[in-house]
């Protein structure tokens, strides 16, 4: 019987794998779905060979050990997948990626399988989805509408049920707009929460990956895997502690609407109904002035800030590229004339407007908006590609400039209109919870939902996968994020008279070596309970990995190493156990 996975969510894939369906069978079923997609959704063929290789690697792993075991996904083609071309939607720009983008690597380490690369507005410049030499993906809800962009193919692949989630990018609304127009959930994370290493930049300091899915739960599950600092991304940042939102939150709604916002009557009707639903669910609704936020958003294209697009890919475009979209070429080409003085003045103005817009958060916890103010048609965009694109982004462009997080959920099923929920940075998880309450019709009552943030911990000995104490991680829902080594600044010792046998790791200034380790992910509460159980002489400190990143992990108090055997020469605890004939005893 042929496996049909169309429309499956993440839990459907995980349940199937737990019940005996192989990742290899899943890959073949998904590849059939990809082959049936409109030609404009993917760029190039599905990633058949690498997807099959990933499935083969999973065959030896317990499905319960990885949170996204066997789950297929696609990525926007400005995101690197090792061994495959990255084009950013421009054939003449194509290069073969030598490594996965950080977020792709994290997803694959979590068991997910990348199966394709998707179409986009070229160089992620556009919000309409029509600026690509590969054609325009269809809007799955209304054929007369554009699909939205720039992450057009990523949205359409999920909306057509080919994969449960996809990854796009969002600088001015490039994730939220196509999600809205195709009836999807989208998470635009806090800037720096998810690494952009391995992603062709648009406006580098404002870029962030975005997650598309059909449910809030699936978006949250993906966000947990891809979040976290990354030394390869200079704009990455660790999660910050912020004041929790009130729960139920106070939600701000534009009243009156700014005169220059041309709100489509149908969208206004749907939006008013959505706000009434939020009020029925327990939220407090208050009128707010969104004028300062919209003025801030105008800075992205109405000032010298637009020159950042030229800083990203302007040199390549200036030399001429095969398949270059004329609208994209004009936008980026016109931005090269900004002077340094204009750029600085733009920065000063940006700081002023950001401070004014931030006053909104002293009044409300969350801002609710339609994602787009109009329903952009293919015909209208063809007639006025610049003007319609500008209007489409009117309610989204300010979000990254204001350092906010945002979640989009469908206002109603099968409508090309998304309810956009916006809050200050690091409130991503609360926005997802609010969006989930709205979609499910659940009362927003009781305590604020707990954050779904996670922690990493480096293990070096008996907690390694398959060794005697590993259950202390897996029992807490932990999963192995990465197998790697420390930097060359450590020595490893076998501690005497420990049961089960345990090593001690010590950082040294000279004479160190790289030691094999595993990086595991735990929830914040689970991390705390795990650390509380660590016995002396082991302790938790900060460990530097070979890639320069730093994580909490196992070290040893110096006094315990005085009588311990130095086993650094083995390069890791497993190799020592095998050499010492202790491997079977440890297992």
Distance CA 207, CA 532 (A): 38
Report whether 363 contacts 286 (CB < 8 A): yes
Residue 183 CB burial class (10 angstroms; 0-12, 13-18, ≥19): buried
User: What tokens were used for 343?
Assistant: 């750029």
Q: Which two tokens stand for residue 247?
A: 């729960």
Q: How many whole angstroms separate alpha carbon 37 and alpha carbon 39?
A: 6
* Spatial CA neighbour of 226 closest among 69, 97, 101: 101
Decide if 374 contacts 264 (C-beta within 8 A): yes
Torsion angle of alpha carbons 233, 234, 238, 242, nearest 10°? -130
Give whole-number Cα distances, 492 to 32, 464, 575, in Å. 49, 15, 12
DSSP symbol at 72: E
- Active site includes 76? yes
Tell me how far apart the alpha carbons of residues 322 and 329 are, in angstroms, rounded to a whole number: 12
Selecting among 40, 76, 210, 236, the annotated active-site residue is 76
CA distances (Å), 332 to each of 76, 171, 275, in order? 20, 15, 38
Q: Which of 132, 150, 154, 373 is catalytic?
A: 150
Q: How many beta carbons lie within 10 A of that of residue 311, not counting itself?
A: 15
150 noted as active-site residue:
yes
Annotate 516-553 with b (16+ C-beta within 10 A) or e (fewer): bbbbbbbbeebbeebeeeeeebbebeebbbeeebebeb
Considering the candidates 151, 166, 174, 227, report the single residue annotated as catalytic: 174
Distance CA(575)–CA(539), nearest Å, equals 23
Known active-site residue 210:
no
392 contacts 261 by C-beta, under 8 angstroms:
no
Active site residues: 76, 150, 174
């Amino acid at each position: 019987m042929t496996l049909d996975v169309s429309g499956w969510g993440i839990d459907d894939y995980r349940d199937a794998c737990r019940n005996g369906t192989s990742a290899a069978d899943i890959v073949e079923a998904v590849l059939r779905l990809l082959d049936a997609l409109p030609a404009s959704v993917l760029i190039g063929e599905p990633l058949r060979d690498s997807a099959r290789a990933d499935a083969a690697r999973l065959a030896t792993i317990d499905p319960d050990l990885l949170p996204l075991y066997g789950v297929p996904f696609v990525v926007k083609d400005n995101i690197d997948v090792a061994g495959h071309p990255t084009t950013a939607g421009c054939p003449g720009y194509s290069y073969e990626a030598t490594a996965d983008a950080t977020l792709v690597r994290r997803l694959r380490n979590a068991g997910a399988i990348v199966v394709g690369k998707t179409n986009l507005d070229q160089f992620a410049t556009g919000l309409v989805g029509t600026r690509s030499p590969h054609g325009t993906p269809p809007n799955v809800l209304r054929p007369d509408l554009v699909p939205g962009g720039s992450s057009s193919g990523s949205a359409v692949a999920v909306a057509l049920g080919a994969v449960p989630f996809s990854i796009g990018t969002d600088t001015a609304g490039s994730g939220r707009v196509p999600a809205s127009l195709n009836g999807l959930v989208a998470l635009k994370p806090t800037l720096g929460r998810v690494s952009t290493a391995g992603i062709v930049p648009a406006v580098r300091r404002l870029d962030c990956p975005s997650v598309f899915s059909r449910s809030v739960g699936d978006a949250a599950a993906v966000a947990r895997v891809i979040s976290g600092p990354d030394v390869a991304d200079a704009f990455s940042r660790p999660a910050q502690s912020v004041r929790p939102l009130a729960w139920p939150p106070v939600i701000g709604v534009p009243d009156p609407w700014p005169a220059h916002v041309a709100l489509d009557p149908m969208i206004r009707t749907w939006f008013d109904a959505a706000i009434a639903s939020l009020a029925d669910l327990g939220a407090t609704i208050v009128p707010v002035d969104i004028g300062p936020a919209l003025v801030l958003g105008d800075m992205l294209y109405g000032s010298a800030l637009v020159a950042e697009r030229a800083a990203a890919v302007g040199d390549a475009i200036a030399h001429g590229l095969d398949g270059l979209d004329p609208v994209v070429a004009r936008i980026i080409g016109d931005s090269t004339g900004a002077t340094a003085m204009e750029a600085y003045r733009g920065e000063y103005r940006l700081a002023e407007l950001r401070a004014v817009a931030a006053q909104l958060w002293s009044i409300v916890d969350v801002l609710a908006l339609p994602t787009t103010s109009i329903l952009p048609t293919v015909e209208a965009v063809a007639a006025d590609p610049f003007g319609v694109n500008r209007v489409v982004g009117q309610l989204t462009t300010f979000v990254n400039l204001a350092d906010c997080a945002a979640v989009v959920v469908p206002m109603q099923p099968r409508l090309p209109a998304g309810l956009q929920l916006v809050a200050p940075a690091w409130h991503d998880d609360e926005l997802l919870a609010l969006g989930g309450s709205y979609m499910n019709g659940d009362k927003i009552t009781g305590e604020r939902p707990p954050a779904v943030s996670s922690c990493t911990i480096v293990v070096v000995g008996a907690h390694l996968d398959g060794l005697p104490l590993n259950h202390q991680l897996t029992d807490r829902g932990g999963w192995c994020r990465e197998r790697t080594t420390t930097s060359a600044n450590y020595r490893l010792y076998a501690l005497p008279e420990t049961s089960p046998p345990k090593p001690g790791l010590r950082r040294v200034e000279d004479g160190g070596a790289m030691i094999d380790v595993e990086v595991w992910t735990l929830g914040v509460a689970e991390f705390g309970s795990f650390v509380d159980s660590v016995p002396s002489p082991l302790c938790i400190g900060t460990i530097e990995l070979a890639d320069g990143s730093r994580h909490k992990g196992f070290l040893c108090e110096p006094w315990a190493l005085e009588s311990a055997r130095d086993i650094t020469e083995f390069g890791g605890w497993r190799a020592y156990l095998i050499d010492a004939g202790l491997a079977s005893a440890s297992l």
